[in-house]
Amino acid sequence: MFVICCVIRHILATDIAREVEGGVQLLKTGSIQLIVPDILSFTIKKDASCQGDLEICYVYDPSVRAKIRTYINVGTMCPPDSCTLLMTHSGSAFGLGSEQHNGNFYGILVEGSSVSCPRYIVDGRSNFTILELPTCPVIVEGAMLPKNEKTKPKTANSIVWIIPVCVGLFLLYCYYWFLFLYAIKETAGRTTNTSQKVFWQQSISAKYCHLGIAENTYVKKYSISRRQREEQ
């Protein structure tokens, strides 16, 4: 049953990002890998109803681990191998250079800075953990999702096969439970048969032993009577 729940949860999980014109829009909190250009920048498309902040962690270059505490954006709620970036809906930023114009809020990670941790990049990819998102759209400018993480819109057809999978897993569970019960029954049957066999063997042995004693007594009595007749 635990496996069934995990399968359903995985199938119905909502994607945390999607590609849009000009970059990748962040949709949900969680971990994600992005293909990012040389400059990591964010755009918050603000409106009057926008609430909440952008707080995101990025994995830092392990070559600076020995001096990681010299950077200002280490710590907070990020994993141990990550540094923090923060953009608030009020217009302030932490770990980023920021500016506002055209009603939008822009943040840029200055690579090579002695203030913020250097980002770890492998084949243009970096790993992030999204801790908080505002209610207005957040775009990672120029970013792309790796091919194996690109998402397709979910339709009713993508969930149709959930039922057969769940039924199959349930039948497999019942099959193994039946084998378990059958093994217990067979073990109990063998134990009972062995006990009965021992009981009958003991009974037969006792019977033959009794017959042997009776036969010996009869032979002795017959021999004595015959001897007495011969003496007479």
Q: What span, in angstroms and rounded, lies between the C-alpha atoms of 150 and 32?
A: 11
Side by side, the strands of the sheet bearing 30-35 are: 30-35, 125-132, 54-59, 82-87, 93-94
pLDDT at 9 over 50: no
Enclosing domain of residue 69:
2-160
Q: Which of 5-9, 163-167, 172-176 is the least confident region?
A: 5-9
Helices and strands of the chain, counted as H and E runs: 2, 11
Confidence of residue 57 (pLDDT cuts 50, 70, 90): very high
Q: Provide the pLDDT for residue 6.
A: 45
Q: What span, in angstroms and rounded, lies between the C-alpha atoms of 3 and 7?
A: 6
In a domain, 223, yes or no: no
DSSP single-letter state for residue 45: E
In a domain, 23, yes or no: yes
Strands 17-20 and 23-26, by their bridges, are antiparallel
Sequence-ordered list of residues with C-beta below 8 angstroms from that of 16, at least 6 positions apart, any chain: 26, 27, 28, 29, 30, 32, 130
User: Between the CA of residue 50 and those of 15, 89, 199, what are the distances in Å?
Assistant: 22, 7, 86
Q: What span, in angstroms and rounded, lies between the C-alpha atoms of 5 and 173?
A: 14
The average pLDDT across 164-177 equals 79
List strand residue ranges (DSSP E) for 70-124, in order: 82-87, 93-94, 97-101, 104-109
Instruction: List, for residues 59-76, the tens digit of each pLDDT value.
Output: 999 999 999 999 998 877
Instruction: List, for residues 217-228, the tens digit of each pLDDT value.
Output: 554 555 556 566
pLDDT at 11 over 50: no
* Residue pair 35/128 in contact by the 8 Å Cβ criterion: no
pTM summary value: 0.58
In a domain, 15, yes or no: yes
In a domain, 156, yes or no: yes
Closest CA to 52 of 4, 105, 90: 90
- Give the side-chain half-sphere CA count within 13 A for 8: 11
Q: What span, in angstroms and rounded, lies between the C-alpha atoms of 146 and 144?
A: 6
Q: Provide the pLDDT for residue 144.
A: 94
Return mean pLDDT, the chain. 77
Q: Provide the pLDDT for residue 38.
A: 82
Q: Provide the pLDDT for residue 142.
A: 93
Query: Which of 13-22, 110-119, 155-164, 191-200 has maximum average pLDDT?
Result: 110-119
Give the DSSP letter string of 152-164. Answer: ----GGGGTTHHH
CA 161 to chain CA mean position, Å: 21
In the chain, the number of structural domains is 1
* Residue pair 4/169 in contact by the 8 Å Cβ criterion: yes
Sequence-ordered list of residues with C-beta below 8 angstroms from that of 47, at least 6 positions apart, any chain: 103, 136
The percent of residues above 90 in pLDDT, for the chain, comes to 36
Backbone phi and psi for residue 136, each to the nearest 5 degrees, phi listed first: -95, 160
In a domain, 22, yes or no: yes
Tokens of 223: 């021999």
In a domain, 172, yes or no: no
Q: Provide the pLDDT for residue 210.
A: 52
Higher pLDDT, 212 or 136: 136
In a domain, 55, yes or no: yes
In a domain, 89, yes or no: yes
Instruction: List, for residues 131-150, the tens digit of each pLDDT value.
Output: 999 998 999 999 999 986 44
Q: Provide the pLDDT for residue 165.
A: 75
The average pLDDT across 89-106 equals 86
Higher pLDDT, 212 or 183: 183
